[in-house]
Structure 1
Amino acid sequence: MPERESQKTLKRLLPRLEKTLHQNISADPQAWHVFSERLQKHFPKLFKLYFEIYHSHYDFFFHLEDLLMALASSWFNRPQDLRELDNAREKDPLWFQSNQMLGGVCYVDLFAKDLEGVKSKIPYFKELGLTYLHLMPLFKAPKGENDGGYAVSSYRDVHPPLGTMEQLASLACEFRKVGISLVVDLVFNHTSDEHLWAKGAKDGNEDFMDFYRIFPSREMPDYYEQNLREIFPEEHAGAFTPLAHFGGGVG
């Protein structure tokens, strides 16, 4: 991918972003300056990767513009303490490889019952010297079989027994105050059948159906499974499941 192509694309997109975001830019020109500088620095890599994945989609350019719009809007709404953290990490891009970094991992429910319980453990985390805490799947998932919490129904909601998105944001803020980075999983290679995308696919929406691997028979899944390991063989054999909603198809 010639860099000239990415530069040409960005040259066309920037005026469109500026036109749509003119009120934000007028209110906070310094924020736009920082964002546009970073965008120009990283866009060639973003465009190359995005093009490799989605170049065959006729609406490629629309979604690329939509992505940049979401990034810019998110930046204008980003809290000041996170902007300052971004700036510090930009000056030290290998911060995560420092020998001062010490990570931990836990399930919220097993370790502290819920998010408020995790917050109460902050003095303990400080005593351990943690600077990085990975909370195992905490987003909304179905009851019963849910791939250990990784079959997510909504990334916009915390699993109700654990707390709320507001509590998660508060926890992240309290962690930052003591130098701890919060890490959560965003596993987009599969969802639960309760997810908005899955519901759309069940309703026959072809755009949502394209998000999943759905086959009319066992022929292709059988070929795939010759080289795929089983994740939960005790619960259900193989990597594909019969789908009643698709006339006996497999996904």
Structure 2
Amino acid sequence: MERETDRARRALATCLERIYGDNAGAVFARADDLLDRAVAGRAADLQALDRCRSADAGWAARSGETVYAFYVGQFAGTLAGVVDRLDYLQSLGIRWLHPLPLLKARPGESDGGFAVADYREVEPRLGDLAALERLAAELRQRDMGLILDIVCNHTAREHDWAERARAGDPHYRAYYHVVDGADVAGWDAALVDVFPDTAPGNFTYDAAMADWVWTTFYPYQWDLNYANPAVFLEMLDVLLFHANRGVQGFRLDSAPFLWKRAGTTCRNQPEAYAIVAAFRAALDIAAPSVVLLTEAIESPEDVTPFFGEGDTKGSDLAYNNGVMTALWGALADQDAMIARTMIAAAAERPDHAAWLNYVRCHDDLIWNALAGHASPADLQRWSDFYGGDGFSGGQAFQTVPGGVPSTNGMTAALVGLGRPDVDQGEALARLKLLYATIHALDGWPMIYMGDEVALGNDVTYRNDLARCHEGRWLQRPAMDWSRASATEAPEGQMRDAIRIYGAAARALNALGVAGRAVPLALDCAAVLGFVRDDGRRFLCLANLSAEAQTVRCPRGWDETGSDVLTNRVIPAGPVDLAPFEVLWRLADQ
């Protein structure tokens, strides 16, 4: 049998050929040197973790690998403060910590830390590299893992590479996309602005460069040029550097933008998929226990290739953005159709891959990401509903011309908690429904900081000159630790519910439940149903309505069973569901 490292080396060579063609051999040789050094410098305990996970090929597909996403400063102030809160996180059943960007950012505006000035240093106000290593070590002691955000598409204008480029060094100038002014309009014609209101256009003139620099996001974020092999090798070295300091996973930010091709939107190009697969193959050689999470907020058809092609693996995980957004649309309509559609699309993932299932994150709800599966009228209705027309306390965000506005807001606010004109019992039930549903799906459930205590919007950002221009700060509040110990509704009930869902998801492994979530067509439009049938038969039913519903399941899925969440017996035949009730039906042995 071919050794795993041999397979990985072959996969790396194949990926580099797809990216760099005739130059692939030289790139492989330089990558090989980096990998040899990384293998030689890898600590014994990390090597042991590599062996353990390599011997257990299906570990990442198990249920209940719960992720907690947060900003370090908003959650605990510093990395040392995060260590002090690990008992709390462990009590919630958290297995993975995903702090949002914590590497050293540019001074002043930094897009929430996504404008990185140094990949090998921690943002000083949060701690230092030693504090990051300590957190990673503490997590390993608890059988938990750290996922580090790597902003691989762009650097801050103040990064050393950019500073050298601006000083006239041609070697580092080639690290970036520098475009002659006469060519900017030609490139721009096919591109879509990410922030059309706050950062229109995709290029920024820089006097020191005497030319235009590609800046997909903000003018101070310079897009890296992966057509230059030196950039790929630099970023690979960054991944290996942190992997050998105990980081067990990397979130690859803005992966769809990694390759530029004239006449296209410069998103989701074949080379972008190959770059992610090359990172995976390289880590399989030097740090096989490390997982890759791709941040690609795109349609499922554009995301799935990031998982790899054929025998060549790509990312282990990707955000299940389609299902997340569809759940909000289904909840607004009290109709499961769009959620069934997106769950079916998500089921097309490869066997080795897993979805990161989530309800909210630090970014906006992008309705346009469902454009391939829903009508413009649907998208506009959902945008209006969560922007103020419905029970939601959300706010409209910017969009491209011809698109519909995205939505900002914390989960608790979006379901109507805190609004005097909304039934608060129903609002809390909606919040529970969303999290119960994503825990039942195949993949890793993610909790966004504060959702476990029903934390609401942070409207104070409007009075802060450093943040008031950026509407996404609405869903980036500081953690309210008084809510973490509260016992009353909604915070106490939601915290207890999160614990129940996580424990139940982990219990599915021992109960023999596995496989993809596949939607069921039911006789009740307001009930979302999906099954997992690779092993013991499992059915999830979620009543999206404020009215009680009775649903008849198709033959074969209507047998006697028990509810994993409550342990009550469910007789054969039609199922009665209370308003917003979620049921996890496990077939009898």
For the superposition of Structure 1 and Structure 2, which TM-score range results when normalised by the shorter chain?
0.7 to 0.9
> Quick check: 1:40 aligned with 2:6?
yes
Q: CA RMSD in A?
A: 2.0
> Quick check: 1:71 aligned with 2:40?
no
Change (3 A) 1:234 1:143: farther
Please give the per-residue CA displacement for 1:39-73, whole angstroms capped at 9, x wherever unaligned.
Answer: 3231111001112212354xx54442222122121
- Report SS of the residue matched to 2:208: helix
Identity %: 32
- Cα deviation for residue 248 of structure 1 reads 4.2
Of 19, 38, 42 in structure 2, the residue corresponding to residue 53 of structure 1 is 19
Please give the per-residue CA displacement for 1:156-203, whole angstroms capped at 9, x wherever unaligned.
Answer: 100110100111011001001111110011122110111121122212
Check conservation: 2:65, 2:94, Cα contact below 8 A. yes
CA separation in 1, counterparts of 2:190 and 2:92?
Answer: 42
For 2:79, the equivalent position in structure 1 comes to: 115
Of 203, 212, 218 in structure 2, the residue corresponding to residue 249 of structure 1 is 212
For 1:153, the equivalent position in structure 2 comes to: 117
- Report SS of the residue matched to 1:160: coil
CA separation in 2, counterparts of 1:229 and 1:106?
Answer: 28
Which amino acid is the alignment partner of residue 193 of structure 1?
A: R
CA separation in 2, counterparts of 1:94 and 1:240?
Answer: 44
For 1:16, the equivalent position in structure 2 comes to: none
| Higher relative contact order (Cα pairs below 8 Å, separated by 6+ residues) | 2
- Report SS of the residue matched to 1:155: strand
Check conservation: 2:115, 2:154, Cα contact below 8 A. yes
Of 214, 233, 236 in structure 1, the residue corresponding to residue 196 of structure 2 is 233
Of 86, 90, 106 in structure 2, the residue corresponding to residue 142 of structure 1 is 106
Check conservation: 2:96, 2:146, Cα contact below 8 A. yes
Q: Alignment length, in residue pairs?
A: 213
Check conservation: 2:179, 2:211, Cα contact below 8 A. no
> Quick check: 1:83 aligned with 2:15?
no
CA separation in 2, counterparts of 1:236 and 1:132?
Answer: 33
Which amino acid is the alignment partner of residue 112 of structure 1?
A: A
Unmatched 5+ residue regions in structure 2?
215-589
Of 158, 171, 174 in structure 2, the residue corresponding to residue 210 of structure 1 is 174
CA separation in 1, counterparts of 2:66 and 2:36?
Answer: 32
For 2:56, the equivalent position in structure 1 comes to: 92
CA separation in 2, counterparts of 1:94 and 1:234?
Answer: 45
Which amino acid is the alignment partner of residue 19 of structure 2?
A: I
Task: Tell me the TM-score normalised to structure 1 length.
Answer: 0.78
The structure with the greater share of residues assigned to helix is 1
Task: Tell me the TM-score normalised to structure 2 length.
Answer: 0.35
- Cα deviation for residue 81 of structure 1 reads 1.5
CA separation in 2, counterparts of 1:191 and 1:40?
Answer: 33
Which amino acid is the alignment partner of residue 15 of structure 2?
A: L
CA separation in 2, counterparts of 1:148 and 1:234?
Answer: 17
CA separation in 1, counterparts of 2:192 and 2:148?
Answer: 25
Which amino acid is the alignment partner of residue 225 of structure 1?
A: D
Please give the per-residue CA displacement for 1:53-109, whole angstroms capped at 9, x wherever unaligned.
Answer: 12354xx54442222122121122212221111111111233222103111100111
- Cα deviation for residue 224 of structure 1 reads 3.3
Unmatched 5+ residue regions in structure 1?
1-36
In the TM superposition, structure 1's runs of 4+ consecutive aligned residues that sit over 4 Å from their partners are: none
Change (3 A) 1:113 1:249: same
Which amino acid is the alignment partner of residue 245 of structure 1?
A: A
Which amino acid is the alignment partner of residue 221 of structure 1?
A: V
CA separation in 1, counterparts of 2:146 and 2:82?
Answer: 11
- Cα deviation for residue 206 of structure 1 reads 2.4
Of 87, 101, 105 in structure 1, the residue corresponding to residue 69 of structure 2 is 105
CA separation in 2, counterparts of 1:100 and 1:88?
Answer: 19
- Cα deviation for residue 118 of structure 1 reads 0.7
**Within 5 A, what are the aligned runs for 1:122-201?**
122-201=86-165
Which amino acid is the alignment partner of residue 41 of structure 1?
A: R
- Report SS of the residue matched to 1:185: strand
- Report SS of the residue matched to 2:69: strand
Which amino acid is the alignment partner of residue 104 of structure 1?
A: Y
- Cα deviation for residue 242 of structure 1 reads 1.3
- Cα deviation for residue 38 of structure 1 reads 4.3
